[in-house]
Amino acid sequence: MATTLGPLGVFLPISFTKPISADRQREAAVRLEHAGCRTVWTNEVVGGKDALLQLAVLMAATERLVFGTAIANIWAREPQHMHAAAAQLAEAYPDRFVLGMGVGYPQQAAATGREFGRPLATMRDYVRRMDEQTWPPAPDVAYSRIIGANGPKMLALAGEIADGALPAGRPPEFTAEARTTLGPDKLLVVALPVAVGTEPAEVAANVREHHETGADHVILMPPMDVGFESCMAYWDELAPRL
């Protein structure tokens, strides 16, 4: 899957203050594809939007873009539902989907009326339950599962029960540790915070440093408070230069 993702991707800009219409999201995805972008990621919290439904809309509007969730929140849907939705996307759009998922925060569990519990045990049980029988059966299609992991214990669990890990906002030293923990054959996706307006040469240097320390794929992650169009204009500028 690392080959399919390519070395670099970007987050589709988001807004926490107002909804972005489906038309604007589709236009943005097509715009990124035409600019030469290879992989686009989207986020998810509990409420507001469903990342997997969002990607179904965007994948239908594009021809080649690979999409991933960074991350799909485990409290937003039941494990079998997560697997069934992911498998349907993977069946409909072969080699164009990666499921990144994470345990999130206690308040997100509380928002759904559930106990957060111990993060490692919660994630292990969730992934186990993803493969329980559903009715009707989910498509028998393989897709990559990676786990959001910003600490050594979750990294080790990702290496054990998933296809890789997705740390966010961590320095290259952590990327090196993650590669050592995961081993050479697991997918290591790194989310790199980037301020809109940063010089392309500086962005390229930061991306290169994470690749040199073990990342397979780096996601450029804008600040949460950046405007949708401001971020899209910046991605337009960066895409052909990176």
CB proximity list for 91: less than 8 A, separation 6 or greater: 139, 141
Q: Return the pLDDT at 134.
A: 87
DSSP assignment of 150-217 equals -SHHHHHHHHHHSSEEE-BS--HHHHHHHHHHH-TTSEEEEEEE--TT--HHHHHHHHHHHHHTT-SE
Nearest to 106 by CA among 69, 140, 58, 74: 74
Tokens of 28: 């943005």
Of all residues in the chain, what percent carry a pLDDT higher than 70? 100
Whether the Cβ atoms of residue 63 and residue 34 lie closer than 8 Å to each other: no
**Angle at which helices 152-161 and 119-130 cross, to 10°:** 20
Q: What is the pLDDT of residues 127-158, one digit of tens each?
A: 999 999 888 999 999 999 999 999 999 999 99
Whole-angstrom distance, CA of residue 42 vs CA of residue 236: 17
Q: Return the pLDDT at 39.
A: 97
Helix (H) or strand (E) holding 135: none
93: confidence class by pLDDT, cuts 50, 70, 90 = very high
Tokens of 172: 């290259």
**Comparing 187 with 1, which gets the higher pLDDT?**
187
Q: Locate tokens 């996706």: which residue?
A: 189
Q: Return the pLDDT at 2.
A: 67
Average pLDDT, the chain: 95
Q: Return the pLDDT at 224.
A: 83
Q: What is the pLDDT of residues 1-17, one digit of tens each?
A: 767 899 999 999 887 78
Burial of 192 from C-beta contacts in 10 A (0-12 / 13-18 / 19+): buried
Q: Return the pLDDT at 182.
A: 98
Task: Read off the pLDDT of each residue in 91-115 and give the average, rounded to a whole number.
Answer: 94
18: confidence class by pLDDT, cuts 50, 70, 90 = confident
Q: 0.75 exceeded by the pTM? A: yes
Whether the Cβ atoms of residue 144 and residue 164 lie closer than 8 Å to each other: yes
Q: Return the pLDDT at 135.
A: 87
Q: Which domains does the chain have, with CATH numbers?
A: 2-241 (3.20.20.30)
| In the predicted structure, residue 180 carries a pLDDT above the cut 80 | yes
Helix, strand, coil share (%) of the chain residues, nearest 5:
45, 15, 35
Task: Read off the pLDDT of each residue in 183-192 and give the average, rounded to a whole number.
Answer: 98
Nearest to 44 by CA among 68, 70, 66: 70
